[in-house]
Structure formats: structure tokens, C-alpha cells
Chain A
Amino acid sequence: MQLIVGRDSLSRGLARIQGVLNRKATMPVLSNALLEARPDGSLRVAATDLDVTFDGVMPARVERPGRITVDGKRLYEIARNLPGEEVSITVDEDQRVLLRCRTSEFVLNGLSADGYPALPSARGIELLPVDGGALRELIERTQFSVSTEESRPNLNGVYFQCLGDSKVRMVSTDGHRLSLGERDVSRGGVVPERDGVIIPRKGIQEVRRLLDEVGPEVDFGFLENNLVLRAGDLHLFVRLIDAAFPDYTLVIPRSTERKVILDRLPFLSAIKRISILASERTHGMRLELTRSKLTLVSDNPDLGKAKEDIEIDGYDGSDLTIAFNSKYVMEILSVLSGEKVALLLNEALSPGLIREHQNEGYLFVVMPMRL
């Protein structure tokens, strides 16, 4: 195998696979990247951790086609630090990978590509154009409440459902709070209705990273038990969680007795201040709601006490004291972008609801704390 490839495109192609290289895997080949010089004048760079797979192609001057796998992290470190613009890669019959770039020369020990796991292929499947920016926003606003508790695998990912009419809904919950977002993701063409699937935490991270890199023009679809995303010559496959997402609609309050409209950023800053004195373990804070103001309190016998009043207008409900994990509320306020948010409450031990004011697309349910 022998080829010449641009240093920058090689480096970019290797950068995006870093998240799936698994150096602790029982199969040593999983810490390697798969390189394939193709007769059509391209270099394929791929990697998989068996759950998430990147498969990309870049132009190259191929002198001798062939395949090899080589330590993906080291190759990336080398590629991005090379001095010149073009890199020559040659593999000898002993699977040694020789890289040359101007005056630098590296030899890496490779492993035969025959031992690399078979990768999914998107050939022949139908992908639909979607708005990557809309997908990215949905992910950003739901990803943070995915459960990390391994004993509940059906909560270890974001629930993803095509509602028809190009609408996509994403939901995540860790059992204490729930995030739900819904948006039109069309980019020409219509995304049809489809049963919901669960995209695992790791996979959703890689999807988000890819969307950050490639911008809004992406296509998506499903291949067997994988979500497929395509951007140009790059494919990302994410194996879905094989479990049923719980009926989350049960926990969304249908009606609320109390509604307060708050300025998002000042509310967020006040919680940040109050939480300095919250318990490091529970992050609990108290919200005392009256007709004229909302008072935030953290009362920590070990440390001291903090209190802040927020003036409110137009609240005519009854008084309520309720406690929340301050981190949960801050995370919600941080992912939103509107100027105002609505805080909707029932009783002290019933789920609370946060929405963006005049944006029906997102809702966040937070279970209170018993202080």
C-alpha cells in the first residue's frame, strides 16, 4: 500500500475518530484506525468501538492500493504535528507503516486489516436530508439529563422519535428529571413517522461532535439496529440501545396551579450564587414563592445560609415552598436561549415544569427534593 495525502485532511479524518478508539479493549485492534488506499484515488479512514463507527473518505494520490490498521491515537498525534503539507504513507509486507513528510520520518507497527471487525455499510440505504443545526439543538437541550446508572439501560440514552411531518422529538431522563424537545428538522423532503429508538449516551456525544464539525447539511437514516448519519463522504453509525423507553408521558404534569415568568439569565445567576452554600452532595435549594417575590434559600448547617429575592410580576397564585437540586435547574436554564422562562408548579412534592416562555418546543420536568 502506498499513497500521498494532504496532511490537514488526514489530520481531520483522524481527529474525529479519537472518541471511539478504545485502548483498554480486549481486542487490541480496537485501538487502531483502519486505513484503506483505494484504486479510485481515495483514502478511507475508519474506526469502531463496536457501538459507534466512523467511516470517512478523503482524496489521495494512491500509488498502490491496500489496507492496514495502525495505532489511531499515535497516528493522529504524528499527522497533526508533521511539518509539511503532504504526507506519504507506505506499508511494507511486514505491516510496518512508514510516514514521510518533508524531513520527518516515522515507522509505526501496524496490524493486518483482516483482523478488523466488519464495519456496517450504508451502501444502498435511503438517507433523508435533515437540518443538522436543529438536530444539534435538540441534542444539546436533552443530552444532559441522560442517566448514567448502568442498572437502567433503557435510560442510558436519548429517546429519538420521528413524529411525521419532519418533526423529531428527543427525550431523556435519569429518573429525577426529564428533558423533552420537539422540532421540525426538514431540509427539503419530509422525514416520515417512525417508532422511537434509544441512542446511547456515547453515540449521541459523537453525533453532536460530528454536527459541530460538519455544519447543518447532513442526511440521516436507519440501518438495522443503527442510526446512520452522513455528511459528505463521512458516515457515522451508532448502534441503538435494545430496550424500551419508559412511558415518559406519565410524568409530565398536565396542568399546573402556579405559573411564574422569570428572566432566564438573572434567575440563573441567582441560583449560581445561592448554590455556593448548598450541600455539596445534594445541591438542595429552597424556593419560597409568594405574590410579590420568589426567594431562593440555601441553608446548610455545616456552612451557613444564603438568600436572594427575585421580584416577580403578575403572579396571583397561592404561596408555596418547594426544594430543588440547584444543579438540575441550572443545567436547564443554561441550555435554553430565550430571554424568559416559565416556572410551573403544583405542590411541594409534585414534579415542577420549566419551559421557554412562548416556545412550546421544549419542556423540562424536575422532581423536587424533600428537605
Chain B
Amino acid sequence: MEVPSPPVGRKIVHVDMDAFYASVEQRDRPELRGRPVVVGGSPESRAVVCSASYEARAFGVRSAIPCSQARRLCPQAAFIAPDFRKYTEASRLIHGVFHEVTDLVEPLALDEAFLDVTQNRLAEPLAGRVARHLKQRILSVTGLVASAGVGPNKLVAKLASGHRKPDGLVIVPPAQVADFLAPMPVDALWGVGPATAARLKALGLERVSDIRATPVSALTTALGRWGAFLHDQAFGRDERPVETSREPRTRGAETTLSTDIRELDALTSLLSRHAEDVADGLGRVARRARTVTLKVRFSDFATITRSRTPDAPVAEAAELFAIGEGLLRAVLADDARPVRLLGLSAANLEPVDAPRQLWLPLPGAPA
């Protein structure tokens, strides 16, 4: 039997805006240019950093660290509350530029996307030139700087865009993929988080080259079937296509509290706001959720999630809240630690017009 050969000669560009939110602020407020800028909550609060300008990063400020810590690292930074309307508008322009070149665009975030430019509207065979064109167009349309990476697949393109930020353009031709990946730490590979990285380290595997030198059987023994995919990645093999229409998978809302609390009333009122946000998010994509998940992070940073799949899919704030509240009560009954973060999310989404089993009109039945 003939084995289908993998698609050859794909050309993938990964575009990633540099310090996106902070750059938008610096663009719009000239007095901030050249200064450390931190976009996030107030440094008095316990909110985390959304985005830090490169000037702030020089002081060690990073996304997702607490704002209070950012201020200790860089007291002179300007702390700015995020203005998502501006970022969404910039994002819309950037994605418009992508679609000038190809419709094979996989959006990953407001400021980040994969493009399959194997065929493109510029009729340009050299993907590096396509990437340079994208960077220039984004700069002229939005006044913002992007980094781009070019490779034969998504894995390599993404690593390339992050390789020389800001204002980077890194092109990794197929023949150089192996050399490019070899010295990288294992957590550069897709799906390797801190836990997997620690397990790999325990096996003596710290760099991509180490993984390449390990038999695939040893990886599958340690990591299961996923080990084989990791092995492929170490050789730069990644056949995941650029997926243009991403089905919405989850909708969620979470908040880090300004002080750790345990009072059920305060937590449920926060939960009810989250339920409204999640219901709103579901409404926008015309989906309802088969699974509802509560996330609780305690004062010691231990984080747990609890899920429930009700009899019937839910979309209304009141339904989401009722499930979330039940889960929350159960969590608090089992655990005396104060709560630092509370989140609610909806998953296993289905279209609101999906077939639905109706309820008998018994007293107390769902609507």
C-alpha cells in the first residue's frame, strides 16, 4: 500500500507583535516613548502585568508577574490600566494586513497569528520576503512593530519569531531546522510546560538535542503516546496545519482578589459577575456549554479546578452561576484556605441551535 507522504515545502510565517499593549500605549502617548511602561492593574492591587515595554523588561518586569512586584523591580515605570478597545482595533488592522497576503490565517491571540504563505496573493515564492512585507505593512498601517519567524511548519516558525525580538525577522530554511533547534531548551517545544520539563530534566534531557539523541521508545515509556510527538518536534517535524476557522472551545472569566478571602458572600458575588461575563462571551459566539468549570487558587498558590456537566447544556448567567456556586460550596466545605483567585469557565461548547432534548414540564424542570 502506498503511504501518503506528508505535505512538503510548506512555508509558514508566525507574526507576533512586540510588547503589544505597551507599544500601543507608547504609540498613542509620545511622552511614554523610551520609558518603561507597564500595562496592568494598579501596583497597589494584586493584579498582574498584562504587558511590559522593552524598557521595563530590562528591569526584569515580565507579563503575568504581580504589579506590586513590577513596581519593586522598576519603580520609575509608568503603570497604565489596559484599554482593550484600542488593542482590539489595532488587532483588527493587523489581521486585515494578514488577509491582504493570504486567507490561510490562524489567529492565536489579538497580537499573534500563523500564516500559511506557501501560496500567497503577492505571488512571492520567498517566504522571507513575504514576512518582511508583513512587518512593513503592519508598521505603516498601525505604527507598531512586529517580529516574524519563517519556517517549514508552525513549530519552527513560532520559535523563529521569538528568537530575536523585538523587530526580529528570523528565517529558518528546511536544511537549517536541525541546527536551529538543537541548542534550545526542551520547554521551547510545543506542549512542554514546567511539569514535563522537570520530568525530562530528571531523565537528563535539557536541550532539544538531548531529546533527539533519545530513542523514541524511551520517550513514549516516560510520557506516553505524546512522547512520539515530542520526538518528532525535536527533529523539527510538525505537520499541524494552519487552521483558519477555530471553533470557539471555551469561554471564561477569572479575577485575582485584592485580598485573600474566605467569605462565601463575597466569593459568590464575584462568581455571579463571572457568570455574567461567561454568559456574555457564550452569547457572542452563539454557543452553549456542556461543561462548567470552577477554578480556585488558594492563598498558598495551590490551584484546583472542579467541573460539572449538567443534564442539559447551559448558556444563561443564572444557570452558570448555579453550577459554579454548587462547586464553590463543595470546595470551601473541604478546604479552609483563603481564596486568592476565582475563575469560572464554560467548555465543551455546542452551537445554540444544536439538537436538544426537551424537558418534560415537571415542577422544577429546566426551562
Contacts and interface: CB of A to CB of B under 8 A. Distances in A.
A340 to B, nearest CB: 25
A282 B355 contact: yes
Nearest to B353: A370
Interface in A173-222: 173, 175-178
A239 to B, nearest CB: 23
Given A349-B358, A367-B357, A369-B356, A250 B363 contact: yes
Contacts of A349: 358
A251 B357 contact: no
Interface in A231-275: 246-248, 250-251
B37 to A, nearest CB: 48
Contact of B358 (A152, A173, A367): A367
B331 to A, nearest CB: 16
B213 interface: no
> Main SS of the interface on chain B?
loop
A176 B357 contact: yes
Interface string B318-353: 000000001000000000000000000000000000
Interface in A117-159: 149, 151-152
A309 B72 CA distance: 76
Contact of B362 (A250, A282, A368, A370): A250
A325 B357 contact: yes
A151 B308 CA distance: 11
Interface residues of A, number: 26
Given A149-B311, A175-B311, A368 B361 contact: no
A277 interface: no
B215 interface: no
Nearest to B326: A151
Contact of A175 (B354, B355, B356, B365): B365
Contact of B355 (A151, A176, A250, A369): A369
Nearest to A323: B355
A251 B358 contact: no
B360 A173 contact: yes
A279 interface: yes
Contact of A351 (B357, B360, B363, B364): B360
B84 interface: no
B355 A279 contact: yes
Contact of A367 (B310, B354, B360, B363): B360
A149 B364 CA distance: 14
A173 B359 contact: no
A110 interface: no
B360 A282 contact: no
Nearest to A371: B355
Which of A151, A175, A284 is the most central at the interface, judged by chain B CB atoms within 10 Å of its CB? A175
A296 interface: no
A297 interface: no
Contact of B360 (A151, A178, A279): A178
A311 B310 CA distance: 39
Given A149-B311, A175-B311, A284 B363 contact: no
B361 A370 contact: no
Contacts of A149: 311
25 contacts: A149-B311, A151-B310, A152-B364, A173-B360, A173-B362, A175-B365, A175-B366, A177-B360, A246-B362, A247-B362, A247-B363, A250-B361, A250-B363, A251-B360, A251-B361, A284-B355, A323-B355, A349-B358, A367-B360, A368-B358, A369-B356, A369-B357, A370-B355, A370-B358, A371-B355
Given A175-B365, A369-B358, 7 more contacts: A176-B359, A176-B360, A251-B360, A282-B357, A284-B355, A369-B356, A371-B355
